[in-house]
């Protein structure tokens, strides 16, 4: 049986590849459970210092596997969208709160929950074929997998409303202009290598500080200045006690390049 999620470790970078290419990496239960549980394992895996999220084949992910979902609807399940609580919410929380950088290699289509997964990454790399489609309303659903939280932060409230209600595709160039992509490479074949190269660079950096930056921004986005200042004080107290901070400070004073160990 083919593994629904491929896990590759190269030095301190872990690449997670959604592996249902014949179904455009649509998210069935097996894939969602594998992604949810693997992310949980990576939270405290000190050997992992950066994560790349990618899709096998020509697409990133078409979102929820609607063929599987039709079967759920036809079974008269009293809670046909229980997958949101069981799978999508835990996946979104773990991606957003992972205390290390996440880079999404978004080749081809990212639709529905697939797009939502990409938006939860810290940095998104795309190519000429990259496109996003907030497809939820096309099947009579609202957003999930954190899109109601990530989209306004990426593109602003008004544009988020437009993307979610009109459910029109956003092509690569516009996605880059809107902030849905951080970088756009010229060749689709370079999307994954570029993402992995960037992840390797981040994996060689101050991992604890990166995790603290993610927490700071999450709090500041939704909070007051006082909330942000409190989060900054807490973050600096943590980072200030790390070996990486001490080593990097001494290296800076001595005009040397620091070697971060992620602790």
Question: What local confidence, expressed as pLDDT, does residue 80 receive?
Answer: 81
Q: pLDDT tens across 208-238, in order? A: 999 999 999 999 988 899 999 999 999 999 9
Straight-line distance from the first to the last Cα atom of the chain, in angstroms, rounded to the nearest whole number: 38
Q: For all residues of the chain together, what is the average pLDDT?
A: 95
Tokens representing 92 are: 């979104």
Q: pLDDT tens across 187-198, in order? A: 999 999 999 999
pLDDT of 130 higher than 80 = yes
Residue burial 60-93, b: 16+ Cβ < 10 Å; e: rest:
bbbbbbeeebeeeeeeeeeeebebbeebbebbbe
Average pLDDT of 119-140?
97
The residues facing 52 across adjacent strands are 15, 103
Q: Percent of the chain, pLDDT > 90?
A: 89
Rg over CA atoms, the chain: 19
Average pLDDT of 41-56?
97
Question: What local confidence, expressed as pLDDT, does residue 221 receive?
Answer: 85
pLDDT of 72 higher than 90 = no
Tell me the three state secondary structure of residue 5.
strand
Got the DSSP string for 215-244? HHHHHHHHS-HHHHHHHHHHHHHHHHTSHH
Q: Percent of the chain, pLDDT > 70?
A: 100
Residues 105, 193: Cα–Cα separation, whole Å: 9
């Amino acid at each position: 049986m083919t593994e629904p999620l491929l896990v590759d470790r190269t030095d301190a970078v872990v690449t997670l590849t959604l592996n249902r290419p014949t179904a455009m990496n649509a998210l069935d239960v097996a894939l969602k459970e594998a992604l949810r549980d693997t992310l949980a394992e990576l939270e405290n895996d000190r050997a992992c210092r950066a994560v790349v999220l990618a899709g096998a084949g020509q697409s990133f992910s078409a979102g929820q596997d609607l063929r599987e979902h039709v079967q759920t609807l036809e079974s008269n399940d009293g809670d046909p969208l229980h997958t949101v609580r069981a799978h999508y919410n835990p996946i979104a929380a773990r991606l957003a709160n992972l205390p290390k950088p996440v880079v999404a290699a978004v080749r081809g289509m990212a639709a529905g929950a697939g797009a939502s997964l990409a938006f939860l990454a810290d940095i998104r790399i795309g190519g000429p074929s990259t496109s996003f489609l907030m497809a939820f309303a096309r099947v009579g659903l609202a957003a999930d997998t954190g899109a109601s939280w990530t989209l306004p932060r990426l593109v602003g409230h008004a544009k988020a409303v437009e993307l979610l209600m009109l459910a029109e595709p956003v092509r690569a160039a516009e996605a880059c202009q809107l902030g849905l992509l951080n970088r756009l490479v010229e060749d689709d074949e370079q999307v994954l290598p570029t993402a992995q190269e960037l992840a390797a660079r981040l994996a060689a950096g101050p991992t604890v500080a990166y995790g603290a930056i993610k927490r700071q921004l999450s709090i500041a986005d939704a909070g007051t200045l006082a909330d942000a200042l409190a989060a900054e004080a807490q973050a600096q107290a943590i980072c200030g006690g790390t070996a990486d901070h001490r080593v990097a400070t001494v290296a800076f004073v001595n005009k040397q390049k620091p070697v971060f160990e992620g602790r």
